[in-house]
Amino acid sequence: MKYRGKMNYDIKDINLAPNGALRAEWAEREMPVLRDIKTRFKQEKPLKGIKISGCLHITAETANLAHTLKAGGADLSLCASNPLSTQDDIAAHLVASGIPIFAIKGENPDTYYRHIEAAVSHGPNITVDDGADVVALLHSKKQDLITNVIGGMEETTTGVIRLKALHNQGKLRYPIIAVNDSDTKHMFDNRYGTGQSSLDGIIRATNILITGKTIVTIGYGWCGKGFASRAKGMGAHTVVCEVDPVRALEAVMDGHTVLEMNDASKVGDIFLTVTGGINAIDKSHFRNMKDGAIVANSGHFNVEINIDALKNMSESIRKVRPYVEEHTLENGKKIFLLGEGRLINLAAAEGHPPSVMDMSFANQALAGEYIVANYKNMEPGVHILPNEIDSEIARLKLHAMGMTFDELTEEQETYLNSWEIGT
């Protein structure tokens, strides 16, 4: 660990800060909603005296969330939510701004979990998670720090799944707002953000032409819908694999071919997992794949691809490009794993565009404010932000885009709230 004054931190190189400042500034141009919130937070200080520990992707967009929370009076400490998602210049910029950061791109698992412990040792009143690793630590090794926690926020689907499992077991000890479940988050961040950034990551890693390829999307939640749609728009033949028959039917109606994974594994050129689960691509699927198949993941954890099985099947493994690992199987067939199975949109690219994260992080900032104002009336469990806050974020975004929208007239309002009026 390093020290800047009395501030403890661990990053790659503090000298990268000037470049990080420029990139954070560039991202902020596309984040008008968060800018508005930051301006208000500076004046009102709704988070004054609140300690926040966060486990998030340390990117240019996250930097602007951190600055917003700090403007609101928060004392925060952040670590990375994925070993490959950190932008080292942004980490340096945040440290130079007076925010303790524990994140280095490419950190090994031991360092990753040591960094989470360092961020949590801050003694938070509020937790901010992208994957629920902070919550997991507080409910296991660091239970002594829970007493001061009044609430938390969760950014992603995988984290919400973990939190609901913890709550269903009766073990979740404080209220957490599932920011991921706000419409202005999952409908935009997951669909438009993941859709574009995952393709961007695959293209940056491989320089492959998407047009004409058969691309298999495994999982058809919001992330899968976004990715498959954009792959189709770029001229790919799109196949979807799903366990939910309603979502599978939706994929068909959206123009995709729907197959079982055992069949899809035989025809795909590129595979992307976005299930939030485990072993969506398994040993039997690797056996079925074409020579030269490309495998990537945009789910939060790298367990969606059975990497251990692939390694055990491989006679040789070599790195052929910065984020491309070539696995040669016993029969000579080659399978290419991208970004070590980590989030390809962050491992090989820059993550979501800032205009998308503008809404996600607006939800995070306002969720923090909401917790401070309402935690005394919130039971331990998984909560969502009130619809009026979601609608306000959408209104601010439309205003920033120069768009307008209608409001119901008094007559229309009356009609929609009555039962007496018929044909």
Confidence of residue 148 (pLDDT cuts 50, 70, 90): very high
What are the domain boundaries of the chain?
2-185+352-400, 192-347
- Per the prediction, the chain carries an average pLDDT of 95
Largest CA distance in the chain: 74
CATH code given to domain 2-185+352-400: 3.40.50.1480
Tell me what the mean pLDDT of segment 150-170 comes to.
95
Q: What does the CA dihedral 189, 192, 196, 198 come to, rounded to 10 degrees?
A: 50
What pTM, to 2 d.p., does this model score? 0.90
Report pLDDT digits (tens) over 34-71: 999 999 999 999 999 999 999 999 999 999 999 999 99
Question: Given this model, what pLDDT does residue 405 score?
Answer: 93
Question: Given this model, what pLDDT does residue 187 score?
Answer: 84
Yes or no: domain 192-347 corresponds to CATH 3.10.129.10: no
Tell me what the mean pLDDT of segment 14-29 comes to.
97
> How many other β-carbons are positioned within 10 Å of the β-carbon of residue 146?
14
Report pLDDT digits (tens) over 269-310: 999 999 989 999 999 999 999 999 999 999 988 999 999 999
Whether 2-185+352-400 and 192-347 share one fold: the answer is yes
State phi, psi for 302 to the nearest 5 degrees: -80, 5
Question: Given this model, what pLDDT does residue 300 score?
Answer: 80
Pair 74, 38: CB distance under 8 Å = no
Location of structure tokens 């939190």:
163
Report pLDDT digits (tens) over 369-418: 999 999 999 999 999 999 999 999 999 999 999 999 999 999 999 999 99
Report pLDDT digits (tens) over 67-78: 999 999 999 999
Question: Given this model, what pLDDT does residue 423 score?
Answer: 63
Q: What percentage of the chain has pLDDT greater than the value 90?
A: 94
3-state secondary structure of 289: coil
Confidence of residue 146 (pLDDT cuts 50, 70, 90): very high
Tell me what the mean pLDDT of segment 100-121 comes to.
97
Per the rule left: phi > 0, alpha: psi between -120 and 50, beta: everything else, 288 is alpha
Q: What does the CA dihedral 309, 314, 319, 324 come to, rounded to 10 degrees?
A: -50
* Three-class DSSP labels, 16-46: HHHHHHHHHHHHHHCCHHHHHHHHHHHHHCC
> How many other β-carbons are positioned within 10 Å of the β-carbon of residue 373?
10
Question: Given this model, what pLDDT does residue 421 score?
Answer: 77
